[in-house]
C-alpha cells in the first residue's frame, strides 16, 4: 500500500510502530501535492505549501519518537494535516483567499490548529477556499478555483473546497475547514469524504478569521468516521481565549464508535424528499433510509417546516454579521492599501482599497448585510431573520426531545440537492448557488451538530464514472460522539470510503 493510501489512523499507527518515519510520510504527502495540485490541470487545493518547514517538523518528531515513544509526542504523531487558509498560523500567510489579505502574516496560531500541532501533527500547507469563506463552490477564491478530484470540470463545493479536495485526492489524510452555513458538509458530500460541523462552542474559534461570528465553527475532514473522531478528540475543548467556547469536558469520540446505537430513531423531514433534488440524489437518499432500516433503525417522518426558510434567514443574518466583521479592512489598520491621489480623501482610500481587495461575492454580501441593518429595514429584514432563526432552533429542539426523552436521535437529509455541478454553472445566478446550502444552513442557525458522510456514487452523462453523493446527519447540541456512531453504522454497509478518484 502506498503511503498516501493510508488513512489517518493507519498512518499514525505505522509511524508509532516505526515501520515508517514521519519524514517519509511528509515527503509522500508533499510529493503528491506537487504532482496533483499545480500546473495546467492541477487541482489548486492548496494556496501555500510548507515544504521545508514540514520536513523540519517531521524530522524533529522522528527524533522525539526515537527518544520518548510516539505516545509522548501525541495522538497525531508525525501525520500530515492541512488547514483552511482562514485560520491563523504563525508562519506563512493567512490570506482568506482574498487580495485584501494577500500578504498578511499572522503573529499567532489559531487554538484549533495549535492543538493539532501539540498532538504531533505536521501542518503541510493551507488550503484554498471561497474568499472569506463566502461561497459554495470555491470558485470565489481570488487565487483561482479548486477543481473536484472526481471530475476536474466540476466544483468541489465550498467554501472549504480546498480541504475537501485535498483529503479526497489523498494529498493529506485529514484537514480542517470552517462551516458557517454548510462549508464543511457540502464540499465533503461533493468530494466523497467525511466532514464534521461541531456544535457551536465545541471547538474554539480563536484565530479563525471571522465571517459570521454567531455561525462560524471549525471542524475536521477525513476519509472515514474513525479518523474524523480522532481529529475531533484533538481539537475540541474549552478555550479561555474564545468567549463562546463551552466550558465542559468533551467526550472521547472514538471509545464507542464501533458500538451501534440501540433503539436508533432517525427523523426524515418532508423537505429532504423534495422534488427539487436531483433524481440520483433522491435515489441514494432512499437507499440510505432502507439501509438504516435494515440496521434496525426506526424511520420517523418529521416536520421541520421552517427548514425551507433557512436559506432566506441565513442570507440575511450571515451577510449582516459579515458587513460588520469586514468593516475593519479599510486600507488603514491592516490589509491592502490602495494608491490614492493627493486630492483624494479618506473615503476615497476606503472605497478604492475595498474595491481592489474584495471580490464580487464578498462585495455583494457586504452590501446585502449593510442594507439589512440600515435604518428603516432593520426590523423588516434582520430582526425578522433573527426571529425565524429562533423558531428554527425551537423546531430542532422539539424533534430531538420531548417529555419522555429523545424523540429522534438524528435527522437524516442529503448533504446537498445535487451531485457536484460544473464549474461556472452557477456563478451568474447567486440564488441558485445559495440554494445549494438548503439542507445545511439550518444547523448553523440552530447551533446543532452535523456530519456529511459518503452515501454512494452516481453516473451522470458527460462525467467520469462515479460522482460521490453525500448524506447529512444532524444531531442535538454536543452529541457529536453519538452522531459519529450513527454515521459509522451506515459507513459499515458499503465501501464508499475506500474508493478514490482516478488521478
Type and span of the H or E element at 472: strand 467-475
- Measured in residues, the chain has a length of 503
Do the Cβ atoms of 433 and 136 come closer than 8 Å? yes
Do the Cβ atoms of 92 and 105 come closer than 8 Å? yes
Give which of 125, 239, 242, 210 is closest to 175, Cα–Cα. Answer: 125
Do the Cβ atoms of 187 and 66 come closer than 8 Å? no
DSSP string covering 198-220: PPTTTB--TTBPPSSTTT--EEE
Per the DSSP assignment, residues forming a β-bridge with 175 are 82, 221
What grid cell was written down for 319?
451577510
Q: Is 214 known to be catalytic?
A: no
Indicate which residue of 22, 160, 183, 323 is catalytic.
183
Give which of 345, 271, 304, 247 is closest to 445, Cα–Cα. Answer: 304
Count each helix (H run) and each strand (E run) in the chain, helices first: 16, 11
In the chain the first and final C-alpha atoms are separated, in Å, by 16
Indicate which residue of 29, 141, 159, 415 is catalytic.
159
Type and span of the H or E element at 166: helix 161-168
**CA distance readout (Å), 339 to 143, 348, 354, 356:** 22, 10, 12, 10
Per the DSSP assignment, residues forming a β-bridge with 125 are 49, 82
- The Cα–Cα gap between 307 and 91 comes to 41
Q: What single DSSP character describes residue 236?
A: B
- Alpha-carbon dihedral sign for residues 87, 92, 94, 96: negative
Q: Which are the contacts of 106, defined by CB distance < 8 A and separation ≥ 6?
A: 88, 89, 90, 94, 207
- Cα angle at 409 between 403 and 412, to 5 degrees? 130
Q: Is 308 known to be catalytic?
A: no
Indicate which residue of 84, 126, 197, 426 is catalytic.
84
- The Cα–Cα gap between 226 and 489 comes to 12
**CA distance readout (Å), 312 to 270, 386, 431, 435, 460:** 18, 11, 10, 9, 30
- The Cα–Cα gap between 313 and 30 comes to 42
- Cα angle at 415 between 161 and 188, to 5 degrees? 30
- The Cα–Cα gap between 188 and 440 comes to 12
Q: Is 465 known to be catalytic?
A: no
Residues classed as catalytic: 84, 159, 183
Amino acid at each position: 500500500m502506498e503511503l498516501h493510501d493510508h488513512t489517518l489512523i493507519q498512518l499514525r499507527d505505522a509511524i508509532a510502530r516505526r515501520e515508517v518515519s514521519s519524514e517519509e510520510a511528509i515527503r509522500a504527502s508533499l510529493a503528491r501535492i506537487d504532482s496533483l495540485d499545480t500546473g495546467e490541470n492541477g487541482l489548486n487545493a492548496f494556496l501555500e505549501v510548507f515544504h521545508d518547514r514540514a520536513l523540519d517538523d517531521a524530522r524533529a518528531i522522528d527524533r522525539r519518537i526515537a527518544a520518548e515513544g510516539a505516545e509522548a509526542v501525541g495522538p497525531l504523531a508525525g501525520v500530515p494535516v492541512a488547514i483552511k487558509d482562514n485560520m491563523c498560523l504563525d508562519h506563512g500567510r493567512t490570506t482568506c483567499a482574498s487580495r485584501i489579505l494577500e500578504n498578511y502574516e499572522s503573529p499567532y496560531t489559531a487554538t484549533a490548529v495549535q492543538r493539532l500541532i501539540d498532538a504531533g501533527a505536521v501542518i503541510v500547507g493551507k488550503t484554498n477556499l471561497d474568499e472569506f469563506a463566502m461561497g459554495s463552490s470555491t470558485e470565489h477564491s481570488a487565487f483561482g478555483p479548486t477543481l473536484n478530484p472526481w471530475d476536474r470540470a466540476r466544483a468541489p463545493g465550498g467554501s472549504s473546497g480546498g480541504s475537501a479536495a485535498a483529503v479526497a485526492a489523498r494529498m493529506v489524510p485529514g484537514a480542517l475547514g470552517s462551516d458557517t452555513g454548510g462549508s464543511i458538509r457540502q464540499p465533503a458530500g461533493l468530494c466523497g469524504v467525511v466532514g464534521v460541523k461541531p456544535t457551536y462552542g465545541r471547538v474554539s474559534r480563536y484565530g479563525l478569521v471571522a465571517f459570521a461570528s454567531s455561525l462560524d465553527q471549525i471542524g475536521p475532514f477525513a476519509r472515514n468516521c474513525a479518523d474524523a473522531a480522532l481529529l475531533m478528540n484533538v481539537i475540541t475543548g474549552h478555550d479561555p481565549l474564545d468567549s463562546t467556547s463551552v466550558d465542559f469536558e468533551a467526550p472521547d469520540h472514538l471509545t464507542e464508535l464501533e458500538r451501534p446505537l440501540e433503539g436508533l430513531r432517525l427523523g426524515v423531514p418532508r423537505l429532504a424528499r423534495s422534488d427539487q433534488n436531483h433524481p440520483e440524489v433522491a435515489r441514494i437518499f432512499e437507499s440510505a433510509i432502507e439501509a438504516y432500516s435494515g440496521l434496525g433503525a426506526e424511520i420517523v417522518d418529521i416536520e421541520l417546516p421552517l427548514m425551507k426558510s433557512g436559506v432566506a434567514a441565513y442570507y440575511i443574518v450571515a451577510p449582516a454579521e459579515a458587513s460588520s466583521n469586514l468593516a475593519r479592512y479599510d486600507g488603514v489598520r491592516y490589509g491592502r492599501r490602495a494608491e490614492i491621489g493627493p486630492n483624494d480623501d479618506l473615503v476615497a482610500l476606503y472605497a478604492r482599497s475595498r474595491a481592489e481587495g474584495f471580490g464580487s461575492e464578498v462585495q455583494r454580501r457586504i452590501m446585502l448585510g449593510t442594507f439589512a441593518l440600515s435604518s428603516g429595514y432593520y426590523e423588516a429584514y434582520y430582526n425578522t431573520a433573527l426571529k425565524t432563526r429562533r423558531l428554527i432552533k425551537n423546531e430542532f429542539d422539539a424533534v430531538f426531545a420531548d417529555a419522555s426523552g429523545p424523540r429522534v436521535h438524528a435527522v437524516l437529509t442529503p448533504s446537498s440537492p445535487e451531485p457536484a455541478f460544473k464549474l461556472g454553472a452557477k456563478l451568474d445566478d447567486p440564488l441558485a448557488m445559495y440554494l445549494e446550502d438548503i439542507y445545511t444552513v439550518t444547523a448553523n442557525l440552530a447551533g446543532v451538530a452535523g456530519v456529511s458522510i459518503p452515501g454512494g456514487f452516481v453516473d451522470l452523462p458527460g462525467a467520469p464514472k462515479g460522482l460521490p453523493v453525500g448524506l447529512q446527519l444532524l444531531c442535538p447540541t454536543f452529541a457529536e460522539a453519538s452522531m459519529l456512531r450513527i454515521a459509522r453504522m451506515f459507513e459499515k454497509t458499503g465501501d464508499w470510503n475506500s474508493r478514490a478518484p482516478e488521478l
